[in-house]
Amino acid sequence: MFSPEFRLLLLSCRLVDAGGKVDEACKIIKENRIDWVDLCKRAYFHRVEPQLSDLLDKLPSPTIPEDIRSELKESVQANLVGQMRYVAEFFRIKEWLDNEKITVVPFKGFWLGESVYGNLAGRTSSDIDLFIGLGDLENVKRIMTGKGYSGHESLVELTDAYIQSEMAEYNFDRYENGVCQAHVEFHWRSTMSFYRMGITLEDMMPQIIKDTLQGREVEVFSPSANLLLVVMHHGGKECFWQLKQILDIAHIIRRYPDLDIEWLFQQTERFHVRSLLFLGVRLASELTGISIPAVFVGDGNSERISRMARSRFRLLAKPVSELSTYKDRVASWLFKIRSRDGLKTKVQLLYYTLRKIIAPRLVPGKLHYLFFSRKIRKN
């Protein structure tokens, strides 16, 4: 049985039956002693404070402590200001790269807020995610540092061969008066190589379309490509451990029911993430109540997917104190292995888990160099 706080959080993410979820929320509050501090902690952790704020705004005023309403509203307003700043920053960067004929495509972040949530304030994010081609990386580094951005030193020292074989992104920060104003992540593939989900900009070229962002035309990924990237990142890398990650999938499917299923399934087979896709869609349906395309129903109702879905909800319901370290636990890597398709992929993920996650915990710290190597450029 879920706690009343988690049940309220689930209700805030429901995308259907607005009146019904308000009545149910009132009933939960009336019949239980709500730990409002815990509820807010959960909302912040799961990055769904806009959804919770929206739900609480619909409830009778005496029902909700005023300080809780105010805190959530301030958080939503701060997020909106941040997203607007990120959009402006993106257009500055885009102009610099356009001048040198470098293709840059936004994904996740403010773009999902604008295109599928329908509201910049409706989706929280703390950085700017951009896709580029690997061949443009050196020029991007030159341009960004020339414009006053600081690159992460650890990546500056890595060899080009290591960047091409292992890394998946290059990060930059812009500071004003010692305060970071923008964190920008340039990706040339979806994840690091050991995840075996390294789809590139070249792979997604057929799925680049024209759309508008704040009234200006931009090149973006199609809904099908955005769905694939979300599944890879939120599922394959992050293990669907936050409600926002599932909410992203629900909003994409709800907004764009006519996906390019043929391309999507081709890519999920190629990168061994078909089960992750069906799991993500199943979770999205159960969380938000949305209807899902018939093509996802069959395999999505299999016993394997059903078991994984139940397991994810049990995980999501845990207190924040237990969830905050989940990504670093062996359990998260076991999920990464179980949720992927193909024996070769599972074996390679198992090998990585044994070498990089489990083995270092069994030996003294002074021997960790045996498991972690850093390839540094020699001057």
CATH code for position 185? 3.30.460.40
Angle, helices 243-255 vs 223-230, to 10°: value is: 160
Given a cut of 70, the residues of the chain with pLDDT beneath it are 153-166, 366-379
pLDDT at 26: 95
pLDDT at 378: 36
pLDDT at 306: 95
Nearest-angstrom CA–CA distance, 130 and 358: 33
363 in any annotated domain: yes
Strand pairing category for 169-176 and 179-187: antiparallel
231 in any annotated domain: yes
Nearest-angstrom CA–CA distance, 280 and 188: 24
Which structure tokens are listed for 85?
A: 């700043």
pLDDT at 21: 94
70 in any annotated domain: yes
Q: Which amino acid is at 221?
A: F
pLDDT at 366: 66
pLDDT at 166: 67
Q: Which domain holds residue 60?
A: 4-367
- pTM of the full structure: 0.93
**185 to each of 2, 44, 140, 188, 209, how far by Cα in Å?**
36, 22, 11, 10, 21
Closest to 355 (Cα-Cα) out of 338, 331, 336, 330: 330
**Do 287 and 13 meet the contact criterion of CB atoms below 8 Å apart?**
yes
373 in any annotated domain: no
Nearest-angstrom CA–CA distance, 247 and 262: 23
375 in any annotated domain: no
pLDDT at 324: 86
Nearest-angstrom CA–CA distance, 322 and 106: 33
Q: How many domains, in total, are found in the chain?
A: 1
Q: Which helix (H) or strand (E) holds 110?
A: helix 109-112
User: Which backbone phi and psi does 131 adopt, to 5 degrees?
Assistant: -100, 135
